[in-house]
Copies of this chain bind each other. A is one copy, B any other.
Amino acid sequence: MDRDTYDKGMKIRRETLGDAYVDKAMAGVDDFTRELQEMVTTYCWGEVWGREGLDRRTRSIINIAMISILNRQTELGAHVRGALNNGVTRDEIKEVLLQVGIYGGVPAMVDSFRTAKAVLADIDGEGE
């Protein structure tokens, strides 16, 4: 792994998903998951999120769409939160998920709205 790319990736990962989320992921690192964390940070967050060609708002929007289609609810929840951190509005998340419904089908849309709504409720609860 290239150290500079790892460091760049860790910075973007923390800015997107939040320190609380990343601290928790890193605290659980052991021999079984060490390379997982390195690969995600370097390859996903450093190499691709670190590229100039699209802003983070757009990358977050793309992720919500793709991860909805992929049916990965835990990851979707993290990226809904990340999208808000990157400046995507709640209305824009709604628009993405309605478009998911057309291209990925109604069950994908319904599941993704359920996950997103739970994240929004958590965030609203944290503010109280």
List residues of A whose CB falls within 8 A of some B CB: 1-2, 5, 28, 32-33, 35-36, 39-40, 43-44, 47-48, 51, 53-54, 58-59, 61-63, 65-67, 69-72, 74-75, 90-92, 94-111, 113-114, 116-117, 120
Minimum distance in angstroms from A6 CB to a CB of chain B: 10
27 sample A-B contacts, Cβ–Cβ < 8 Å, listed by A number: A32-B90, A32-B113, A32-B117, A32-B120, A36-B109, A36-B110, A39-B47, A40-B109, A43-B102, A48-B98, A51-B98, A53-B95, A54-B96, A54-B99, A59-B99, A61-B61, A61-B62, A62-B62, A66-B66, A70-B103, A70-B104, A70-B108, A71-B71, A71-B72, A72-B110, A102-B106, A105-B108
User: Contacts A70-B103, A72-B111; is A43 near B40 (CB within 8 Å)?
Assistant: no
Indicate how many identical chains form the complex. 6
A95: contacting residue among B1, B54, B100, CB under 8 A: B54
Distance in angstroms between the alpha carbons of A61 and B35 in the assembled complex: 19
A47 → B minimal CB distance (Å):
7
Quick one: given A69-B69, A72-B111, A95-B53, are A61 and B58 in contact (CB under 8 Å)? yes
